[in-house]
Structures are given as C-alpha cells and as structure tokens.
C-alpha cells in the first residue's frame, strides 16, 4: 500500500506531497539506527558478556534457576549471551516490531528459540502470571537503555517499573551500577556554542561593535545536552577548573527512582577563571565489585588511553552553566547535578543545596528565542570573528553608497554588516515569527530597529510595497537556513534569487567538491556478521534491505570535525552552480573520476560546497585547508558535510604507483533541489568493510 506524505522541501522552500511505501518510516528508522555501531563495539559487547556470565553464576551458586528479563533486546544479543552462559530462560522485550521480528529470526538461527521468548511490547505493558507474558518475576535484569546522557532514553522510568512489577527484590542486574562524572572547565570555544559574543566590524568610520541583547546574555540556554565526540576537542581549547568529580550513581539491582533529584559535590578549583562549561560522561560496572567496567571517559580521563574504544552510539556530554561565574583557585564551591526522569543539567553554588534546604531548580528553558532558532554550531559560526571578517571584506567589494540590500538567511547578521558598511537601505526576510522576534531584539539592542526593515514573509511572495517601492540591487545570504541538513539544501538562496529577480548576489557561484575518506565513521554502516560468536547476519540483511529501499542512494549529514578522516585524494570539484543565472529548468549533470593517490582503504566519500563570494574570497562548508601529506583533514566545525558510504572497500594493497579511481555521476534536480551522486569503485573488494 502507498501513502501520501507531506514535507517541506528545504532547498526549494515548497511543500511537496510524495507517494511513499507504507513502511517508509520503518525503513528510515532501521537504516539510520545505531545497531551496526553497537554490534561493532567490541568493548561494550565483551564487558556485557563478562557481566552476564558472572550474574548467571551468582544465581546458580545459590541453587536457583536463572530467569532473565532483557529490556530493549534489539537483536537479542544479550539474551543469547545469557542462555550461552547457562541461564534457564530469557524474556526479551522489544517494542519496535520490525526489530522484534528480526530478533525472533536471529534467536532461531542461533538455536535458542526454546529458551528465549521475544515479547513485542513496551516493558511497562508486560504482564506477570499464569496467563501473562511472564509466569513469574525474573531474578536477573539485563538492559541496554542508555544514551550519551545515560538517562535520555527513559532508563530511569523503565528500571523503576521493572523493579516494581517485573523482577525480584535484590535481583542481579547487568549492568549493576552506573556513575556519572563531571569536570568544570573554562572554554571560549565551547561557550561560543551557547552565547552570542560582541562582533567587531571595521568600517571607514572606525570600528563598530554588534552587541547581544541583555536578554540573550541572561538566558540560561537550551535545556538539551550537546553530545559530541569530546576526544576531538583539543585540550588547548579549554582550561580545567576542577578534578573529575563523581556526581551520582544509580544501583540498577535495587529500586530506582525517576523523581527529580540533585547531587552536589564540593571541590576546590584548580585554577582561577570563568566557570562556563561542564564536561560529563559515565561508566557502567557490570558486576557488584566493579571489576568489569565500560567507560565513556575521554582520553585525558581514561585509565588506558591506548585502549580507547571508538564508538558513536555513546559519546560525551557538554553542558552549559546558566551563566558564567568567576571562580578562585582553592576557594571551595559546590557543583550540582540535577536530573528529572530524562534530562540532566548543572549549576554552580557556593554551598550545598542539601545543607540550606533549597528546592530543586527547574530545568533551564530558553526564553530569548536564540537557542530555539540557532543550534550550537550556528552559535559558533556567528561568533567566528575570522568568518565575519571574510564577509566584511567581500561586502566591501560589492557594496555601493546607493545599494539596496535584501538578506534572506535565517537569523543572519549580514544585514547589520551591510548597514555598517554603508548600504543605503537594508531589508531582511525572516520566515518565522521566532526569527522575527529574535532579530527585532538584536536590532533594538544596537539601535537599528528603525533602520533595518524586517519582512516576515516568504521571499517569492514579496511585493513592491514590502520593499517600499525600491529595487533590490544586492541579495545577501549565508550558507545557513534552519531547515537545511545537507550542504545543497542551502541552494534555497539560489531559488530565492531566481524568484526575486535579483541579478547581483553576494555569492557569485558555488561549487560542490568531493574527497574519498573516513577513518572510523564507516562502522555505523558496516555489516557485522558474527558478534561475540553469535550469528547476526539477519540484522545485517535487514539494515541492507532498509538502505536499499532508498537511503543507500542518499547522503547523510555528519559533522566530520568530530570524526578523524584521511583523504585518499585531493579535493575535486564535481559540480558548479552559477548564482548569476536563474535556476535552470533542466537537470544539471556531470561525470568524472577521482584518482586516489594516498594508500589506505576508502569506505566512503565526503561532499561539501564552497561559496565564492568574490574572486578573492571563498567560504567553505567542508575542508578549511589542504589535507596534510598523510591525508589528515581539517573540517569546518560549524557545518555538517554530506557522507556517502560505499558498499565495497577499495583494496589498500594496490601499490601507490598504480592508483585506484572512483568514478562518479552527479546530477542536480532543479524541481526538487536534490543532488544525487552515484559512485563506482575500481579495484574494489566485494567483501564488505
């Protein structure tokens, strides 16, 4: 059966109705899941297996049957581990039906159907009794319900319900315990992901400073955690203000509470500075003695950095304090971790909240609009003074005293730059009420509310009255729109330029570039085959089928600054768009080959766009400088790049003197705004990654 799905096209700006397969959402969920990454996580799997063996042995040593409850079983891997370790029976709960169906097949394939029952329900719907899903309570609880924040996937409510209704008192639990750690730091780079800094503009009349509204400075920020690969943040980007502090632990073998709670730790700052950011991670102990431990600690806090496990399904957390606070070396303070049933947040206090009886503070919520409109990378992008200087330099070359400018990026400060650089009149389009309110606050804080006109309307609906009868002579825009995910979604600027009939735009033309690379990220798409001795080929086939449905032909957005990459070729321009011309009515196609000169495997290709503002000024959303001799890449940290994963791997044994090639066919579809690329690999080994 087919269904009609409505979606807003991020490139063209139009609302489209597409005919999709009724299981399209299922395919997307499976194709974009982290199942492959989890199955490739050797450290996680090995520690779980060790913990399960130990738990089953402890129950057996008491002369009891080992009855296991596995919540969120996924592939059924942990249940199969339990049976292989000697468990008498496992009840494996999986709420996602396609996954539950796959688990049934995987369990059968491995010969455990007589000892594992897959229950396709949410754990809170499972019943106990003669006619229930389980005849009695389990005495071993196994779960993997954790996200980067530990509790963000509802681990606490699930454990709370399980202990009340599904498992025996003082049951064995794997993992047995989790501990959340935190470290207070000062970091201008990370703080720039949360606050708007003053922006300096050099003009013919001297320096002008764009200041943030007081409301933005006082706003506690977005309530959600910023989860990143903290190992890719240079230690030179932050100053450590505290030791690593164990903030709170959860014992999963006992009754768990999902109620709001606060946990404080007194510490003496290691250095004086501005407390701004809390870095946080957790570890899980698979046994009561804490001998079997799986940790998410970054390299500087890891007990054995050489054994650091790469993983993407669990990373590290960055939390922003509601406001920066000065700290003095040696002067005792309290760092407080607060959490409800799904979220964690932090505050810095002079005394312990337990001692003075203060109530738990409410979860911080943005009240300035900026954190609702701009994501964390966008804050960093706006605060990048070098980037601002680049736009200022480009604007100087195209602005004239009689210029009438129209700015079309979401929440952009380009309109203010144009005004300070001498444009006669500046208009800015803000499609949403939220962006309208935000820009109005920023203009008012800089006394420009009566100078720059805000138009809350779609660009193609503009009338001469909206522009006060003036003809736009310069269209301004950045490669940023709130609806954009992939680099070419920002071609919306081109569609606006075509609709408005503006022949002069800040960006004259834009090129799409590609380079084959990827070092670790390929694991999220690589088939697993066998995992800890269990056959999970059915899961591999399921993911491949979901990808073949459509996703394998589509790019995925990834912030590659977080993922080490080695380029096997020099960047190659594969497509060019001329913004001086309107969007063409027919598709734009190109084909070619990329020669791979550096040794190593190629698991995929990366695409990005470069905007040529003037002949001497280019803004890249991808590589910021040529790759080093060994191919290591420096990516724009404010943008996501488009990643295509290859279905095969290029053979690294081919001698450098006999280079391999990747041939490509790329096509721009003007009616949908999509860019599609087909890659063909020479000398590829059809044996997976």
The catalytic residue positions are: 144, 153
Instruction: Give the tokens for residue 627.
Output: 């790759």
Which letter does DSSP use for residue 635 in this model?
B
d(CA 392, CA 103): 57
d(CA 197, CA 208): 14
d(CA 432, CA 9): 16
d(CA 282, CA 300): 14
**Residue 659 Cα distances to 79, 272, 407, 532, angstroms:** 47, 54, 46, 37
d(CA 90, CA 118): 9
DSSP H or E segment with residue 410? none
CB–CB of 613/649 below 8 Å? no
Instruction: Give the tokens for residue 186.
Output: 């000062």
Three-state SS at 610: strand
Contacts of 23 (CB under 8 A, 6+ apart): none
CB–CB of 418/402 below 8 Å? no
d(CA 551, CA 29): 11
Three-state SS at 187: coil
Q: Which residues of 528-565 are buried (b: 16+ CB within 10 A; e: fewer)?
A: beebbebbbebbbebbbebbebebeeebbebbbbbbbb
Three-state SS at 415: helix
Contacts of 408 (CB under 8 A, 6+ apart): 428, 429, 459, 475, 476, 477, 493, 496
């Amino acid at each position: 059966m087919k269904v009609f799905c409505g979606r807003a096209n991020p490139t063209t700006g139009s609302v489209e109705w597409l005919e999709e397969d009724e299981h399209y959402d299922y395919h997307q969920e499976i194709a974009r899941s982290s199942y492959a990454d989890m199955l490739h996580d050797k450290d996680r799997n090995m520690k779980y297996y060790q913990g399960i063996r130990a738990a089953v042995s402890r129950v057996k040593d008491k002369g009891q049957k080992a009855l296991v409850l596995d919540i969120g079983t996924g592939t059924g891997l942990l249940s199969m581990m339990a049976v292989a370790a000697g468990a008498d029976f496992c009840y494996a709960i999986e709420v996602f039906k396609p996954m539950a169906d796959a688990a049934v097949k995987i369990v059968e394939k491995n010969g455990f159907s007589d000892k594992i029952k897959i229950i396709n329900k949410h754990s809170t719907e499972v019943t106990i009794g003669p006619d229930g899903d389980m005849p009695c309570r389990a005495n071993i609880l196994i779960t993997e319900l954790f996200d980067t924040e530990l509790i963000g996937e509802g681990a606490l409510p699930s454990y709370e319900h399980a202990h009340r209704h599904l498992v025996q008192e003082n049951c064995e639990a794997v993992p047995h315990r989790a501990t959340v750690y935190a470290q207070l730091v000062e970091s201008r780079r990370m703080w720039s992901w949360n606050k708007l800094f003053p922006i300096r503009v050099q003009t013919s009349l001297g320096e002008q400073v764009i200041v943030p509204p007081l409301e933005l400075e006082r706003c506690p920020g977005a309530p959600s955690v910023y989860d990143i690969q903290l190992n890719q943040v240079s230690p030179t980007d932050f100053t450590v203000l505290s030791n690593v502090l164990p903030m709170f632990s959860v014992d999963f073998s006992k009754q768990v509470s999902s109620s709001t709670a606060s946990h404080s730790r007194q510490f003496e700052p290691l250095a004086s500075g501005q407390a701004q950011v809390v870095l946080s991670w957790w570890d899980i102990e698979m046994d009561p003695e804490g001998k079997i431990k799986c940790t998410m600690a970054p390299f500087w806090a890891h007990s054995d950095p050489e054994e650091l496990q790469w993983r993407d399904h669990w990373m590290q957390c960055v939390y922003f304090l509601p406001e920066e606070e000065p700290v003095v070396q040696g002067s005792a303070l309290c760092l407080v971790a607060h959490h409800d049933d799904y979220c964690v947040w932090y505050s810095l206090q002079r005394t312990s909240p337990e001692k003075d009886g203060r109530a738990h503070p409410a979860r911080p919520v943005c009240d300035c609009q900026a954190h609702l409109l701009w994501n964390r990378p966008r804050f960093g992008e706006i605060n990048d003074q070098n980037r601002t200087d680049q736009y200022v330099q480009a604007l100087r070359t195209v602005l004239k005293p009689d210029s009438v400018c129209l700015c079309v990026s979401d929440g952009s400060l380009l309109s203010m730059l144009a005004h300070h650089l001498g444009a006669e009149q500046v208009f800015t389009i803000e499609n949403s009420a939220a962006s309208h309110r935000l820009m109005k606050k920023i203009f008012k804080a800089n006394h420009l509310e009566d100078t720059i006109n805000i138009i809350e309307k779609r660009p193609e609906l503009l009338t001469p009255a909206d522009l006060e009868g003036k003809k736009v002579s310069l269209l301004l825009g950045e490669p940023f729109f709130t609806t954009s995910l992939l680099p070419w979604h920002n071609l919306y600027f081109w569609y606006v330029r075509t609709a408005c009939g503006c022949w002069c735009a800040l960006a004259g033309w834009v090129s799409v570039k590609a380079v084959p690379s990827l070092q670790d990220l390929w694991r999220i798409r690589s088939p697993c085959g066998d995992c800890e001795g269990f056959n999970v080929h059915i899961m591999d086939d399921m993911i491949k089928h979901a990808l073949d449905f459509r996703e394998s032909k589509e790019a995925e957005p990834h912030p590659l600054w977080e993922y080490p990459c080695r380029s096997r070729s020099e960047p190659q321009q594969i497509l060019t768009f001329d913004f001086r011309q309107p969007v063409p009515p027919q598709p734009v196609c190109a084909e070619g080959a990329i020669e791979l000169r550096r040794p190593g495997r190629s698991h995929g290709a990366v695409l990005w766009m470069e905007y040529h503002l003037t002949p001497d000024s280019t803004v890249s959303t991808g590589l910021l400088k040529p790759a080093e001799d060994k191919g290591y890449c420096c990516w724009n940290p404010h943008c996501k790049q488009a990643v295509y994963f290859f279905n095969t791997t290029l053979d690294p044994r081919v001698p450098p003197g006999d280079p391999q090639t990747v041939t490509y066919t790329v096509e721009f579809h003007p009616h949908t705004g999509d860019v599609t690329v087909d890659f063909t690999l020479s000398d590829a080994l059809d044996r997976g990654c």
